[in-house]
Amino acid sequence: MSARRFQDPDVTGTFVLSPDTEQQVAWWEAKYPRERRQSAVIPALWIAQKQNGGWLSEPAMRAVADRLGMPYIRVYEVATFYTMFNLAPVGTWHVQLCGTTPCALRGAEALKSTCEARIGPKGSVTSDGKLSWVEVECLGACVNAPMVQINDYYYEDLTPESLAGVLEDLAAGRAVKPGTYVVRQTSAPEGGATTLLDDALYDGSRAVPLTVIPGAPAPATAAAEPVATAPAAPEIQTKRSPEAPVDVVPPGDRPQGLASARAGQADDLKLIAGIGPKIEATLNSLGVFHFDQIAAWTRANVEWVDGYLSFKGRIDREDWIAQAKQLASPSSGKGARE
């Protein structure tokens, strides 16, 4: 951090906090106990800087110090330490260019050349007062390096060309989009997501219903109850789910299915953690419509369905049987539509 000194020749001038500034400073001040109100000095200086056209004159610092009951030197220390406080007039659009290592490795040096070519040497303001720039330390957006902050917004993943375009548009009064300048969502991978692409993460099939706590033992009443037995199915559906693998003959025994839901009303199998809309539709196509049917599955049935759905043990891992028993119990009020 280089030494930063006042460059304000008018140290005898005055600065009065505007009513709007005063209101905002009071809002920040109220966050702290009265005897600690000096803790609001950084936001107070930031607000005063905005009132003063983007920089802090020495009278503005004194006004803040008086407002918060602080010795002037304490406010000078803060204002001269943080590069967010400008100690000399800046342009309408003030560029803070990050030159710290991650941004440097990603091309910040070339961005400096762009600023020098368009604005002038570091710390200068264009003759029309539109643009100025300084180099600062890390602004905390390293994942989108190289980047700059212009007034209140970040412009990220820049190239010399894209930064030059931003500067030209701002100087000309055209609207400019803050944020990234490549195809990415915030700090996600460029070009789109590369992980967490499994649809099952988003289709609700892994959602845990509020009625079931994963890993919790089944209630004693439900465990002790004899497993409800599905009535004999008059007809077994044989249609496979379109999603099911066609080249796999599952081991085990296919569970007995129903031609249709009893009384025309299927249970909401999605209440079982691990079953989403797609899997529910597949189970229905197998003639499985009710919790008590799943609760009654034998080990061989579980093995068959697990293989049919290419689950590799997921039915056991998610403990569908215990969940189904609980949901099928009359006390759950969720199924057992007889």
Beta bridge partners of residue 148, listed in sequence order:
97, 155
Closest approach of ligand FES to the CB of residue 139, in Å: 4
Distance CA 169, CA 165 (A): 6
Which is closer to ligand FES, CB of 1 or CB of 232?
1
Closest approach of ligand FES to the CB of residue 104, in Å: 7
Structure tokens at 77: 């220390």
Query: By rule CB under 6 A, what count of residues binds ligand FES?
Result: 11
Residue from 17, 63, 68, 139 in contact with ligand FES (CB under 6 A) = 139
Closest approach of ligand FES to the CB of residue 102, in Å: 4
Asked if 103 is part of the footprint of ligand FES (rule: CB under 6 A), the reply reads yes
CA-wise closest residue to 108 among 100, 116, 118: 100
Helix ranges restricted to H, the chain: 19-29, 41-51, 58-68, 72-81, 101-105, 108-118, 160-171, 220-224, 277-285, 291-295, 299-308, 314-317, 320-328
Which is closer to ligand FES, CB of 157 or CB of 318?
157
Structure tokens at 195: 């992980």
Asked if 145 is part of the footprint of ligand FES (rule: CB under 6 A), the reply reads yes
Distance CA 109, CA 112 (A): 5
**Contact criterion met (CB below 8 Å) for 163 and 145:** no
Asked if 142 is part of the footprint of ligand FES (rule: CB under 6 A), the reply reads yes
Asked if 25 is part of the footprint of ligand FES (rule: CB under 6 A), the reply reads no
> Residue 132 — φ and ψ, nearest 5°?
-150, 165
Asked if 95 is part of the footprint of ligand FES (rule: CB under 6 A), the reply reads no
CA-wise closest residue to 164 among 90, 101, 95: 95
Which is closer to ligand FES, CB of 148 or CB of 273?
148
Task: List Cβ neighbours of 137 (8 Å cut-off, separation of 6 or more).
Answer: 1, 83, 98, 99, 100
Task: List Cβ neighbours of 320 (8 Å cut-off, separation of 6 or more).
Answer: 272, 274, 275, 294, 302
Closest approach of ligand FES to the CB of residue 56, in Å: 23
Closest approach of ligand FES to the CB of residue 101, in Å: 6
Specify the stretch interacting with ligand FES by CB under 6 A; choose among 97-105, 217-225, 233-241, 292-300: 97-105
Structure tokens at 294: 């799943």
Which is closer to ligand FES, CB of 122 or CB of 278?
122
Residue from 43, 89, 102, 107 in contact with ligand FES (CB under 6 A) = 102
Asked if 147 is part of the footprint of ligand FES (rule: CB under 6 A), the reply reads yes
Which is closer to ligand FES, CB of 102 or CB of 219?
102
DSSP class of residue 157? S
Q: How many residues does the chain have?
A: 338
Closest approach of ligand FES to the CB of residue 35, in Å: 36
Asked if 150 is part of the footprint of ligand FES (rule: CB under 6 A), the reply reads no
Structure tokens at 192: 């789109």
**Contact criterion met (CB below 8 Å) for 303 and 251:** yes
Which is closer to ligand FES, CB of 98 or CB of 258?
98
Residue from 39, 83, 100, 211 in contact with ligand FES (CB under 6 A) = 100
Closest approach of ligand FES to the CB of residue 100, in Å: 4
Asked if 141 is part of the footprint of ligand FES (rule: CB under 6 A), the reply reads yes
Q: Which residues bind ligand FES (CB under 6 A)?
A: 98, 100, 102-103, 138-142, 145, 147
